[in-house]
Amino acid sequence: MGSHAICIALQDTSPGYAVRAERVPLAVLSTFAKEVEQFLRGDTDGLDTAALEVALRPGELAIQTTPFIQPVLVHDLHRMTLSPVLDGVSARRRTVVLRWQARAHRSRLYRVEIRSGYLEQPIVIDADSQFRADDADAWVNVERYVRGQLEELGGSTVVNAHLRLFDGSSLTVATDKARLASEPRNRLYKTVLLRIRARFNLYTGQYRDAELMEFVDHDRRLDAREWDALTQRGSRLWHGLPPITTWLDVQRGAAG
């Protein structure tokens, strides 16, 4: 088997235009490049991505490697063409694929295509793809703080809070009428911080079965009296000890 290049292309029009090498939001490029590196590297495949040379293809946002051969990566690519079930694909590669697919399922404007001479046809990850893992152990119970804009609140029978997160995705959080009735503030269409209880997918970062625990009031303004009290307490605790710069040098291993 000869060596071939691998090209991973992102098609995304959510910024209001089609991203390409000539024009792309920096955050999108940074995230995509990091995920491509994780996909190529896999788990313990022995591929040195630091030494791997790539090129950005003009006219699209696509990262193409120089020709190389890595048997585990080629094996994983072939498995993805044979079945949407990702069992047997390296864990890191599986995580990246499911993350791309989760974005594509949230927005039909997002699509990733993997092309290579190792493949008879490209692997497409989009709103219609159904890659999945045996994720019985991927969902864990968590308590998290999530921030976003509260777009909808209430309901006649099922009471939910609909939150638009800053990555553009939405999150439905179950609550109850009594909790909403006791809220003194109108938070609708405002940026809010929620403390939730939910199931969290370790592969995709998605939440499900989210329940509202509380609205969190977070005041970014500085309380001068509280700041002074903390400063005085710190001074008392540090009294008689060496200067903090000496302590930092010790922590850094710079002390002689």
Structural domains of the chain in order of their starting residue, each with its CATH number: 6-125 (no CATH), 139-216 (2.40.50.140)
**DSSP code of 168?**
S
Query: Across the chain, where does the E strand assignment appear?
Result: 6-12, 54-56, 61-65, 110-116, 123-125, 139-154, 160-165, 170-174, 191-201, 207-216
C-alpha distances (whole Å) from 98 to each of 30, 79, 157, 167 are 18, 15, 34, 16
C-alpha distances (whole Å) from 208 to each of 197, 199, 213 are 9, 5, 15
Using CA atoms, how far apart are residues 95 and 86, in angstroms rounded to an integer? Answer: 10
- Buried b or exposed e, range 145-163, using 16+ CB within 10 angstroms: ebebbbeebeeeeebbbbb
Mean pLDDT of 212-217: 88
In what order do the strands lie in the sheet containing 123-125? 54-56, 61-65, 6-12, 110-116, 123-125
The tokens for 234 are: 């710190």
pTM value is 0.59
Using CA atoms, how far apart are residues 80 and 132, in angstroms rounded to an integer? Answer: 10
Using CA atoms, how far apart are residues 190 and 151, in angstroms rounded to an integer? Answer: 8
More confident residue, 242 or 112: 112
Give pLDDT tens digits for 11-43. Answer: 999 899 999 999 999 999 999 999 999 999 888
Give pLDDT tens digits for 46-90. Answer: 677 888 889 998 899 999 999 988 899 999 999 999 999 898 888
What's the mean per-residue pLDDT of the chain?
Answer: 86
Give pLDDT tens digits for 151-191. Answer: 988 777 778 889 998 877 889 999 888 888 888 888 888 89
DSSP count for the chain of H helices, then E strands:
6, 10
Neighbours of 244 (CB within 10 A): 10
Residue 256 confidence (pLDDT) above 50? no
Using CA atoms, how far apart are residues 188 and 185, in angstroms rounded to an integer? Answer: 9
C-alpha distances (whole Å) from 183 to each of 9, 161, 192, 212, 218 are 47, 13, 13, 13, 15
Q: Which residues, in sequence order, are CB contacts of 35 under 8 Å at separation 6+?
A: 96, 99, 100
In contact, 197 and 141? CB cutoff 8 Å: yes
In contact, 131 and 86? CB cutoff 8 Å: yes
Environment class of 39 (CB within 10 Å of its CB; exposed 0-12, middle 13-18, buried 19+): buried
Residue 114 confidence (pLDDT) above 90? yes
% of the chain surpassing 90 pLDDT: 44
Residue with tokens 């308590």: 143
